[in-house]
Every structure is written in structure tokens, then in C-alpha cells.
Structure 1
Amino acid sequence: MDKSKILTAVKTKIADKIQKFERLIEETRASNNDTKSSMGDKYETGREMLQQEINNLQRQLNESLQQQLLVQKINGEPSSKVQNGALIKTDKGLFYISASVGEILSENRKIMTVSAESPLVKAMAGLTTGQNFFVNAISQTIEGIW
């Protein structure tokens, strides 16, 4: 499997998320400014709710920016063990260790992106092909690592 295509898909998903959050923050700020100018101090609660929404969106944007930094450090080199940037095939599915951005289709195969901090990756950390591990009392076998 071509890991460079998978890495590109992950980077694209993260970039799209960043653009979405930046746009939502800008729209919410504009809405907050409209409220200030047209409604006066009587609607302080509404403005505070908008500010909380901006703070929430900013937090999500910062998380996406952190994911982007993490993914930029990943190279497309083959892996022989479970680590960041590795593509892992188990008897339950394909997993790409990078940033958790959901499912990606590559070469007509579903690949689940998972963070190195996820319980799944922690359970198989450092293992190699042919080894077993357990997650939620379910046994999985590593069939291949790229």
C-alpha cells in the first residue's frame, strides 16, 4: 500500500478542518460585532454565549493545528514495528498511526486513522508482525506493518 497517499489524505483532512474552524470563528466574531453595535448592553448574555462559542472553536482549531504539526513530522518510510507513521493490518482492519481524523479510503480500502495516544495503539505499541494484543478483551493479531 502507498503510505504517501494515506499521509496526503490525512494532511488534506486536517487542512480542511483548520479552514472550517477559521471560517466559523470569523463568522461568529462578525455575529458578535453585529450584536454589540445594534442591540446595546441589554443583550450581554447573548454576547457572552457567542464569546464562549468562539473560545470553543478556537480550542478545536488549536487541536487541529497540533495535529497538523504532528503529521508534518511523519515520513513515508516503511516501518517494522508499531509506531507513528506506521500502517498496521490486523485481523480486524487497517490502521494508520498519525492524527485521528476518522476513516480514509485509499486504493478502495478503508483505513482508520488513529492517534498514538489511543488505547488501540498503546495496546500494540512496539509489537511486530505476527504478535497478538488485546483491546477491550478482544484479541487481535498484527498481520502486516508498512
Structure 2
Amino acid sequence: MDKSEILNLVKNKIQQKIQTFTSLIEETRASSNDTKSSMGDKYETGREMLQQEINNLQRHLNETLLQQNKISKISAEPCTKVQNGALVKTNKGLFYVSVSVGEIVLDGKKIMTVSEESPLVKAMFGMKVDEQFSINTIQQVIEEII
């Protein structure tokens, strides 16, 4: 399995999220500017709700930009132990240690992207092939690291 393809899929997914959040922020700001009323309190409440939504979207955008920064530092080089950039095959699934953007599919195989802060990665970080770890009382064996 080609890790550079996986890395590109993750980068593309992050880029799509950035574009989505950016356009949602722009749309929400535009609707905020269009809200004109002489209703007093109702007008202020509506504007405040829109502002809260903008703040929420901005927070998500900032988190996604941090993910983009982290993923830009990850290499597609082969790994011998569980670390950032490692593709880890256990008896329970395939995991790409990078940033968490959910499941991606490559060549018909499901790969779960997980960040180094996740409990799963913390449990197996630094381990090598044939080592075992337990997460949520489920025993897993590292079968392969790419």
C-alpha cells in the first residue's frame, strides 16, 4: 500500500474541510449583514446568534488549519515502529497515525486516520511488529508497520 497516496487523501480531505468552513463563514457573515430590522431586541438576538455561529465555524476552521499544519510535516517514508506517519495493521484494522479525519478508503481497504493524541495511538506508540497492546479491554497485535 502506497503511503504517499494515503497522505494525499488526508491532505485533500483537510483542504475540502477548510474550503467548506471558509464558505460557511462567508455565507453566515453575508446573512448577518442582510439582517436589517427595526425590531430592536429580536434584531440583536438574531445578530448575536449569527455571531455565535460564525465564532463556532471559525473555531472549527482554526482546528482544521492546525491539522493541515501537522499533516504537512508528516513524511511518507517507511516506519519501523508506531509513530507519526506510520500505517499500522493490527488484527482489528488498519490505522494511519497522522491527524484524525475519519475513515478513508484506498484500493478497497478501509483505513482509519488517528491522531497521536488518541487513546489508541497512545496505547501502541513506539511499539514494533508482533507486539501486543490493549485498548478498552480489547487485545490487539501489531501485524505490520509501513
Which TM-score tier does this pair reach, normalised by the shorter chain? over 0.9
Query: Helix, strand or coil for the counterpart of 1:54?
Result: helix
Query: Helix, strand or coil for the counterpart of 2:80?
Result: coil
The unaligned stretches of length 5 or more in structure 1 are none
Displacement, 1:107? Answer: 1.4
Q: Does 1:4 align with 2:32?
A: no
Query: Helix, strand or coil for the counterpart of 1:134?
Result: strand
Displacement, 1:40? Answer: 3.7
- 1:1-146 pair list within 5 angstroms: 1-35=1-35, 38-40=36-38, 42=40, 43-146=43-146
CA distance in 1, matches of 2:56, 2:110: 31
Name the TM-score, length of structure 1 as normaliser.
0.97
Query: Helix, strand or coil for the counterpart of 2:113?
Result: strand
Name the TM-score, length of structure 2 as normaliser.
0.97
Displacement, 1:39? Answer: 1.0
Amino acid at match of 1:12: N
Displacement, 1:104? Answer: 0.6
Deviations 1:68-92 (A, max 9, x none): 0000000110000000000000000
Query: Helix, strand or coil for the counterpart of 1:143?
Result: strand
CA distance in 2, matches of 1:67, 1:39: 40
Amino acid at match of 1:46: G
C-alpha root-mean-square deviation of aligned residues, in Å? 0.7
Q: Percent of aligned pairs with the same residue?
A: 65
Amino acid at match of 1:132: Q
Displacement, 1:41? Answer: 6.1
CA distance in 1, matches of 2:59, 2:37: 28
| Structure 1 runs (4+) greater than 3 angstroms displaced | none
The unaligned stretches of length 5 or more in structure 2 are none
CA distance in 1, matches of 2:81, 2:63: 27
